[in-house]
Structure 1
């Protein structure tokens, strides 16, 4: 059952400033086992910066991130062992084969019995028979699948995905959605960022809408609809998103920047 147990991800007062630009301002939310959170917002809203902060790639200016009970800033290795970050553009090594990529990930994370797990993942993601292929021999979609296989190999408790369906054909998209549901059902927490709002509506238990780096809505789709009154009744996530992000913004207090 989703939402049971201690939070896998806890984000408190997350902020990131680049010079005079406040890219992320005071985000606070949590995810429990099995929950899938959709992170949506207009271009330039701060989604990519938020994801990179969650993944430990970008150091926040303010706030705290805990993954699996470990503070990402104070215990980054322990926190990242519980994490998989899958960016929109696969990051692969040109001279490592598909199998060698899995072997490398297994060594980094200390995955026992990785060959059996790797074979199962390659079969699940339709890469069986490609074990000896180099990235240059793979299609864009196959590269994406290899990146996903590497991310899933160590059974992460938190999976952060940025546009995970890029480059996949319709059948692969259907199977990828089933893979994400299976990992949620097994107890992983997922953060899914995508401009494909029907995908977010289909897969996510909760939605976090940000604009200008700030949270403008958070909760289940029904909870967010309720805030819109009669206009929200039966509205799709796309309609809700447009209504929220195009409405005149009320001034919000700015979170003080505390350099770290």
Structure 2
């Protein structure tokens, strides 16, 4: 579903992403982790087609992101770490808007399901500017889920969420994968995302220092008992030592 080959992204004289290569299949959940400034958000934005890559190739469901931008975007939902909601719309307006632009059958029923699932039903008529940081995050996730994309790109989606909302989000990601969605989940909350990830992409200074199944980095016989321990081991090693075959 996602093929990234030698992706590079340069901003002026800064190399943010340097030759990153990986691929994900349908139903896989990839934890994208790395220190601040590692290139995680730039990688996600390039896959989503929101910014152009400087070099390399990205294909989504066998479509080139560069040559088929509109078709690719119809298959992707991207939730940034600080969702840019419409200040003059209510919670309900946001979901109605998504339902209309994606021409979603029975959109109100599906929107109601997600609002109830994320404990936002009571905020249906509330304006976006009245929402807390966590509520804004949950609304953005509800909008993404309502669009029913084949690929979900979630950039720090746990930021600002309380423990029940974190559990709801992680459970929903697992369900999405079981239903054939491909998910990339970026987060610094390593212990929390570890349970839902099938794969890991660890980045440092724009490079992929590890990509492969989670079992190749965390678990018996590989030297790391937790994702946190594996993260420190990977980011303290050279890229050639850590990239999975």
Superposed pair shares fold, TM > 0.5: yes
Q: Is 1:181 matched with 2:174?
A: yes
Partner residue in 2 for 1:237? 227
Q: Is 1:25 matched with 2:13?
A: no
Partner residue in 1 for 2:81? 88
Q: Is 1:35 matched with 2:25?
A: no
Partner residue in 1 for 2:44? 51
- Residue pair 1:11, 1:65 contacting (<8 A) in 2 also: yes
- Residue pair 1:32, 1:189 contacting (<8 A) in 2 also: yes
**Which runs of 5 or more residues in structure 1 are unaligned?**
1-7, 252-260
Partners of 1:75 and 1:22 in 2: how far apart?
25
TM-score normalised by L of structure 2: 0.92
- Cα distance, 1:33 vs structure 2: 1.4
Deviations 1:93-146 (A, max 9, x none): 111111111111122222122111111111111111322111122222111111
Q: RMSD in angstroms over aligned alpha carbons?
A: 1.9
Partner residue in 2 for 1:256? none
- Cα distance, 1:214 vs structure 2: 1.2
SS in 2 for 1:129: helix
- Cα distance, 1:169 vs structure 2: 0.8
- Cα distance, 1:235 vs structure 2: 2.4
Partners of 1:234 and 1:95 in 2: how far apart?
48
Partners of 1:136 and 1:129 in 2: how far apart?
15
- Residue pair 1:55, 1:80 contacting (<8 A) in 2 also: yes
Partner residue in 1 for 2:116? 123
Number of matched pairs = 241
- Residue pair 2:5, 2:22 contacting (<8 A) in 1 also: yes
SS in 2 for 1:203: coil
- Cα distance, 1:27 vs structure 2: 1.3
- Residue pair 2:170, 2:193 contacting (<8 A) in 1 also: no
- Residue pair 1:14, 1:25 contacting (<8 A) in 2 also: yes
Partner residue in 1 for 2:141? 148
1:1-260 counterparts in 2 under 5 A? Answer: 8-224=1-217, 232-247=222-237
- Cα distance, 1:225 vs structure 2: 5.2
**Which runs of 5 or more residues in structure 2 are unaligned?**
none
SS in 2 for 1:93: coil
Partners of 1:28 and 1:108 in 2: how far apart?
33
Deviates more, 1:183-192 or 1:110-119: 110-119
Partners of 1:250 and 1:65 in 2: how far apart?
22
SS in 1 for 2:67: coil
Partners of 1:114 and 1:199 in 2: how far apart?
31
Structure with larger Rg: 1
- Residue pair 1:218, 1:224 contacting (<8 A) in 2 also: no
Deviations 1:75-97 (A, max 9, x none): 11110111000111121111111
